[in-house]
Each structure stands twice: as structure tokens, then as C-alpha cells.
A and B are shown apart, each in its own frame.
Chain A
Amino acid sequence: MKDRLGRVKSKAKEQSGSNLLRPVRRQIMDLMSHPNGQLDSRIEIVTPENIALEYRVAGPFRRLPAYLIDLVICGLAGTVALAALTLLFTLLGLPEVGWGLSLVLWFVLNWFYGGVFETFWNGQTPGKRIMAIRVLSIDGRPINGLQAVLRNVLRAADAQPIAFYVVGLVAAAANRRFQRLGDLVCGTMVVVEEPGLFRGVVRISEPAALALAAQIPAGFQASRSLARALATYVQRRGQLLLARRIEIARHVAGPLRDRFQLAPNTDLDQLLCGLYHRTFIAERPDAAAGMGASPFADYGHPPPRNREAVDR
């Protein structure tokens, strides 16, 4: 079964590189076999400067409120402009010009509100700014005017039937970057851009954990994956009850306790905390060499280019 499916999949890959028309099941299998195991909304981008960074793709629950906010703003702006224009031109004695201009303005708002804002506000409309999302090209570059206008004109197709956005939702659900049809045509995607909370190292203050940390053999070094697991565990253990902590910690801490030849009644939760302390907080003899020697570690001053030039 698996074999057969595998063959089907590889055949499909040969036939077309498109994500759009491939059946959803294969799509899901592709997702699961993706090296990053991508079932969440994270997208990795490598910029031309070779910086690999991750974005979270914005789903419907952020984009819909943003769209609704924009609709309200559009409606308000349209109403205010209508009132102002008709009033102004009525005072000038040409009321019908005011009405005509309002109709033109309505057309412009309806079709080009998003495109103009996204062009001049670097991929954001007021609604998107409030919801902390931004339109980017799929390679991470900012969008240009053409992309901004086109993706908003093609909204008419995505909004079908009527204004229920069924087409857009289906298209978005069928690809990794949650792009609606307009996004697919323009090569754009909508990403979440909020200031993340800084999460540093958790301080371990339990004496039992510190005592256990001292008992861990000096030569022991946590591997990267173990370090990652430790950090995740310690960050979350505050929300867990004691029995649950032991249940989770047991899988890693049990074998380690045997390896370190600790007493069988050692508190496994505390053992992980001690190991965390050793890994992240206590001195690490080996790692001292390269660490901190970032090529850009000296942030003190911008390079004194001008002065140098004068000196020469």
C-alpha cells in the first residue's frame, strides 16, 4: 500500500510542478514528507544575503478580520467623501458633479483601495496593520505596485460565489503558503509580523535541582536535540501538575538517571531542571572557544568610514 502510494506520488511530481491542481490527498502527503515536517504555518525563506528566517503564514482568522476592518474603513471613507463632495459642489452650484465624482471615487475605493495601500505602505492596509499581517513576495522580498494592484483586482474571482470567498478559501487550503488565487498569480503571501516576546533562559532556583546539577558527571554534554527538549520542558513545566511532570520527564530522565548512577528515588523532574541548569546557565568548559565571537559582535559604533577617508 505504502509502496504503491509512494510510486503514485513520485509520478505526480514528474508530471507537474504545480501545487494548484494536484489532488488534496497527495498534497497532504507531500506536506508530511516535507523535510521540515510542515504541518504548521511556518515558512522558511532564504534571502539573497543568505539569511535563513522563518515567517508564520497568516490564516483566515487573521485575514478575515483585517478584510472586515478595511471594509468598514472603506465604507466610512466613502461616506465622508460623498458628503464632503456633494456639499462642496452644491455650494458651487454643481451638485451633479459632486455625485458623479462620488461614483468615480466609489469605483476607485472598491477596486484600488488595497492595491494603493499595499504599494505605499509596504504590503499593508490599515486593517492588515491592525491585525499585524503583511503581504510579501514568496521569496521574502517586498511586493511592488503591480503585484499589489493585481492581487486586489483578482479578489473579485476569489470572492466568488457572491462575496463568500469560497474560491479563495479552497485555493488557500490547497497550498502551503495559504495563498488565494490572487496571491498565486502574483507570487505573494500574507505573513504574520508581530513583535515576538523575548524568551530567555529560565532561572532554576530549586536547591534540589542545583544539587543534582552538581552530581552530573563533568564530561556529560547535552546533544542539540536534548538541549532543545530540555528548554521546551523547563519553559512549560510551570503549567503542569507534579504527576504530569514526572510522566513526561520519565522518558528522558529515567535512562539518564541510570547512566549517571544516581539514586533510584531521584526526582526526575528536578534532574531535568539540573541538566537544564548545567546546559544553559552553568559554565560550559568546551564551548567557551567560539561562543561570543560573532563576526558582528561589536555593535558599539557604526564603522567610522568618513573619518578614515579624511585620514587618508
Chain B
Amino acid sequence: MKVSDLLESRRASWRELEELCARMERWWRRRLDAAAALRFAALYRAVCADLALADAYQLPPGTIQYLHRLVGRAHNQLYRSRPFQRAAWARQLFVDVPQRLFSDNFLRLAFVLFWGPFLLSMWLVHVNPGYAESVVGEGMLNKLADDFAHPPGDRGGMDAIMAGFYVSNNAGIGLRCFAFGLFLGVGGIFMTIYNAGVLGAVFGHMSTLPQQDNFYSFVTAHGPFELTAIVLCAAAGMRLGFSMIDTRGWTRLASLRKAGEETMPVAAAAVILFVLAAMIEGFISPAPLPYEVKALTAGLSAAMLLFYFFVLGYPRGA
């Protein structure tokens, strides 16, 4: 049999497969009916066989290249990405993540790296006048002092805007902190210590001013969620970065890939915490409520976190 005849005889079915692929690649109405789907499968198997035998048939290289592309194109239509499975994600979020975090050394490290510099910075403000100015900047400190000059009151409907702003700003910082962990963990460490140092200086400075009641009245309610979220992001980032250094017997790439799979749900959990914190920060923290209500909010959110980390996270058998 001649090669040209062979190509001629196959060409029709290749073209048909191409048409089916084009139909499935459209922007809308992409589903094939049952008959067309069966036909697609048969044609796909056939073109795979043709590709496998192309060398034995001594087909021209141009044709082989065409077959590679056609098979690749059809393969990508036959196998589709699986969308999120809600049950699997819920399981990740409420079972796997707390279990993993309970024994996660990087979370402990991130905890220390955050609270250590935070407390240190607070202490330095008290023993070392001028420290807060040099860390945070005088302009920022004056602005903070102005902002908290009055007790929380009606802000003319700014609440919703600020809640939106906190979601986009804070969760963005958290995700960036996670992603920068990729630089061998150094990015995450830097951002954690930097944030902790600045926050500590602000807290220390504000506690020396007469406005400190207004300040604490604002920060108390959303503190637990927000600070936990940033520590979680830092820990996830560090874990990602260190997985390239401490590979535990895997190749570096495989270790990195495994860490990516494990840390992404942690970052997702942190984003959820950021959103919760933003809601509290937008609507409860600036509201003219008695301090007890805000303290109660903080207590409740802290209790929820403790439940999450210690009850859901407590190691179970197997």
C-alpha cells in the first residue's frame, strides 16, 4: 500500500476528530451529545494507534508532527480538569489542616518569630525613647495619635468600605507573605519579623499615650483572628521554602511539590481568617460599643481558634 493512499484513507477520520475537537474548544455549547462522544472516543483511539504506528508506516515527519498535535489536542479534551470538590476541601480545612498544624514545627517557629520581636519591640519602646520614631516614623506615629484622639464613634457609613479594604489589603499581605516563603523561607521570616517589630513599636508607643483606651478598644476585637492569620501565612511560607533545604530523602523538587500541596490549604485557611478578621475590624472594632462587647468578641474568636488548633488538631489514632 502506498503511503499517499494510506494518508488519504486516514485523512477523513483525522479531519473529523479535528472538527470534534474544535467543537469542544468553543467558548460556549461545548458538550458533545452521546453519539458524538462515542465517536470522539473511537476516533481518538484510532489516531493514537496511527501515531504509535507512524514510524513503522514511515509517514513523513510533517505528518507525524501533525499527529502529535492532534493527539495532544484530543487528549486535553478527553481529560478535563476536576473542579473543586467541596467535600474534599471541607475535609482538608477541618481535619487535615489542624492535624498537620498541631505538630508543625514551622508554626511554632513562626509563632516565636512573631511574638518574640513583637514583645521585644514593645519593651524597647519603653526603655529606649526615640525607638518607636526610628522604627515606625514620626509622621505615622502622629497620624495614629490623631486617629485615636477620639473614642470610636459614628464614621458616617465608612464601615463597609473599610471592611472591604481590610479584606483586600490584609489577605493580600498574607498571601504575599506565603508566596515569598518560596525564597528559601527567608522572605517569610523577613516579613514576619518586620511586621512584628513595627506592630510591637506601635503598640508600645500607643500604650504610653493618653489615647491608649481608644486604641485598645479598636484593636482588641479583631486581634486574635488577624494575628493568627499572619502567623499561619508565615509558617506556611517557611515550610514551603525550607522544604527545598530539608528534603527528608526526597529530591528537592519532589519535596517542594509535596510541601506545596500541604501548605496551600493552610494559606486558604489563613485567607478565611483574614476575611473574618476584616468583618470584625470593619463593623465591630470601630463601633461605639462598650469595651466588654469587644473583649467578648476577642474571647469568642480566641476560643474558636483554640478549638480549631487543639480539639480538631489533637492527634488521633492512625
Contacts and interface: CB of A to CB of B under 8 A. Distances in A.
Given A107-B171, A199-B66, A201-B60, A18 B4 contact: no
B6 to A, nearest CB: 6
Centre residue among B3, B41, B42, B252 by max chain A CB count within 10 A: B3
Interface residues of A, number: 90
B176 A156 contact: yes
B3 A96 contact: no
Contact of A100 (B65, B164, B179, B259): B164
A297 B46 contact: yes
Contacts of B268: 149
Nearest to A288: B1
Contact of A153 (B41, B158, B178): B178
A294 B162 contact: no
A281 B8 CA distance: 11
Interface string A218-256: 000010100110011001000000000000000000000
A185 B282 CA distance: 35
A104 B50 CA distance: 51
Interface stretch (B78-86, B118-126, B131-139, B218-226): B78-86
Interface in A131-167: 134, 136, 140-146, 148-150, 153-157, 160
B1 A104 contact: no
A212 B45 CA distance: 40
B72 A55 contact: yes
Interface stretch (B94-102, B180-188, B197-205): B180-188
A280 B4 contact: yes
A231 B60 contact: yes
Contact of B60 (A197, A235, A290): A235
A215 B64 CA distance: 29
A35 interface: no
A200 interface: yes
B76 A134 contact: yes
A67 interface: no
Contacts of B167: 103-104, 107
Contacts of A19: 253
A181 B71 contact: no
A279 B172 contact: no
Given A284-B2, A297-B49, 4 more contacts: A94-B160, A194-B69, A201-B60, A296-B45
29 contacts: A18-B244, A18-B251, A53-B51, A53-B68, A96-B160, A100-B163, A103-B165, A107-B172, A122-B80, A142-B82, A145-B81, A146-B261, A146-B265, A148-B81, A149-B264, A160-B180, A193-B72, A195-B70, A196-B70, A198-B15, A199-B60, A199-B66, A228-B61, A279-B58, A296-B42, A297-B49, A299-B43, A302-B38, A302-B39
